[in-house]
Amino acid sequence: MVRSKVDPEQAQKAIEAVRSGAMSLRAAAQAYGVNKRSLSRRLTGDESMDAKVGPRTVLTVEEESFVEDALLYAARHFIGIDRTALQEHVRQLCNDGRDIPWDAAVGPGRSWLDGFFKRHPALSERSARIYEANRIMSDDETRLQTFYKDFGEFVDKEKIPADHLWNTDETGSTSQGTKTMKVITESGQKVGGAMRSNSRENVTVVVTISAAGATLAPWIIYKGQRLQADWVKGRNGPPNARLAVIDSSFMQGTVFVNYIRDFHRQLLDRGLINGTPHVLVLDGHASHVTYEVVKLARDLNIVLYQIPSHSSHVVQPLDVGSFGSFKREITKVLSAFPARNGGRVPAKSDMLGILGDAWLRSFSEERNTSSFAGAGLWPVDGERAMGRLQGVGKRKERSGARPPVEDITGAISDKHLADNLGPRTVRELQQKG
């Protein structure tokens, strides 16, 4: 038997007639051409007014709405929930004696999950980006609002143009890489293999981009005592890359002093020194704020504008956009290396060429300007950037979508609060007032 489609408008009129007392359930169903059982379920709220024709869902409309709200809340607060966790939550929710089409000990399968996502287009699965907890917990809105207010006033006062606003940061890579890939393997194998280098020695790349979309020649820092000819054979790295060698491969104060000098030199070569200060946005790494660095920058009319601590994933353009593309390209080059080199794995001497291949496809003018826009630095727009604090950045609006889930204030007695917190925590809170 094929179920007939219910007209939401007719169903609504029928419900209003029943609730007003003008008609009985049977009379309203006949008058408005709505199945009596369907009308009854809509009247009680077991089905939405625009419920689609087909088999009943295991969860009620209210339960599915609750699950959607919980998933959206978790996503906006960086609490990662994957398919397995969702299946387990639904399994527990449905173990109340109701009819279920799956094994009660296993829970819903892929078909239910696929149907759930189709019914809730506000939800989707995406690869998660890992953030350190202190970044999430420290990004209080007031602190960043102050930063964007001060930064906007500074840019307006000094009349800083886009080609005078820069961002610099470091990122590292090894010849081993950090991510895996999908490979073609023999049918029946559960997991395919991919050979990588044994070395985990880091090579640091210092990148500088502007709000106008420009990319300066990078600095590439090796770990060692002196630069070896074998490391730079072929000179096939990023165009005009500057090379340095230090004990740890990570940025140090003396290297950053040389970087500032070179930064100014590259600006001269581009004809960008005209009396207006150049603004270099950077994080608070110890190498960036030494006396020598600050004095040299002032002498060269370079303003070092430091972002708030633990906020680079929100405020720093390179972290917001360009670095993600660069790291993905490095992974692609590393993954393809053995197949292109007779099965040989990449070594330290290959890193310059690997970085060069990835560089060419990473730092475009469009991507650089998008990175500054995403970080809210050009144009200055703190609201856009701070949307990522709770995962509520700009999203597609859907007609009929429920409003965003907000934090709910719960009432609790002092005694229950003390019992939940424990005596030690209560004492600490009392000492702090």
Q: What is the pLDDT of residues 258-317, one digit of tens each?
A: 999 999 999 999 999 999 999 999 988 777 778 888 899 999 999 999 998 888 889 999
Residues 105 and 218 in one domain: no
Helices 291-299, 253-269: axis angle to 10 degrees equals: 10
Shared domain check, 215 and 82: no
- Classify residue 33: in a domain, yes or no: yes
pLDDT, average across residues 129-149: 72
Query: For position 226, what pLDDT does the model report?
Result: 86
Same domain, 108 and 213: no
- What confidence tier does 407 reach under pLDDT thresholds 50, 70, 90? very low
Q: Are residues 241 and 112 in the same domain?
A: no
326 contacts 238 by C-beta, under 8 angstroms: no
Rounded to an integer, the average pLDDT of 76-86 is: 82
3-state secondary structure of 281: strand
| Together in a domain, 34 and 101 | no
Residue the block writes with tokens 């078909």: 111
Domain count, the chain: 3
> Among candidates 314, 333, 298, which has minimal Cα distance to 376?
314
Q: Is 294 exposed, middle or buried (0-12, 13-18, 19+ CB in 10 A)?
A: middle
Domain end: 85, 119, 153, which one? 119
Q: Domain range holding 27? A: 8-44
306 membership: H or E segment, kind and range = strand 302-306
pLDDT band of 81, cuts 50, 70, 90: confident
The alpha carbons of the chain give a radius of gyration, in whole angstroms, of 29
In this prediction the pTM is 0.63
Taking the C-alpha atoms of residue 356 and residue 367, their distance in angstroms, rounded to an integer, is 18
Q: Read off the pLDDT of each residue in 198-222 and give the average, rounded to a whole number.
A: 92
The Cα 80–Cα 20 span in angstroms is 46
Is residue 398 scored above 60 in pLDDT? Answer: no
Check whether residue 36 and residue 145 sit in a common domain.
no
Task: Please report whether residue 345 resides in a domain.
Answer: yes
CATH number at residue 207: 3.30.420.10
Number of other residues whose CB lies within 10 A of the CB of residue 362: 22
Decide if 110 is inside a domain: yes
Looking at the structure, do residues 33 and 66 belong to the same domain, yes or no? Answer: no
380 with 312, same domain?
yes
Q: Do 103 and 252 share a domain, yes or no?
A: no
Look at strands 219-223 and 203-210 and give their pairing: antiparallel
Q: Are residues 159 and 290 in the same domain?
A: yes
Contact 86, 113 (CB under 8 A): yes
Confirm if 50 and 42 have CB atoms less than 8 A apart.
no
Residue 116 reports pLDDT greater than 70: yes
Under the banding of pLDDT at 50, 70 and 90, the label for residue 410 is: very low
68 and 158 housed in the same domain: no
pLDDT score, position 2: 42
In a domain, 161, yes or no: yes
Are 232 and 331 contained in the same domain? yes
**Inside any domain, residue 412:** no
Coil, strand or helix: which one is 305? Answer: strand
Is 231 within a domain? Answer: yes
Q: Is residue 105 part of a domain?
A: yes
Element at 253 (helix H, strand E): helix 253-269
* 189 part of a folded domain: no
Q: How far apart are CA 335 and CA 175, in angstroms?
A: 10
Q: Can you tell me the mean pLDDT for 205-215?
A: 97
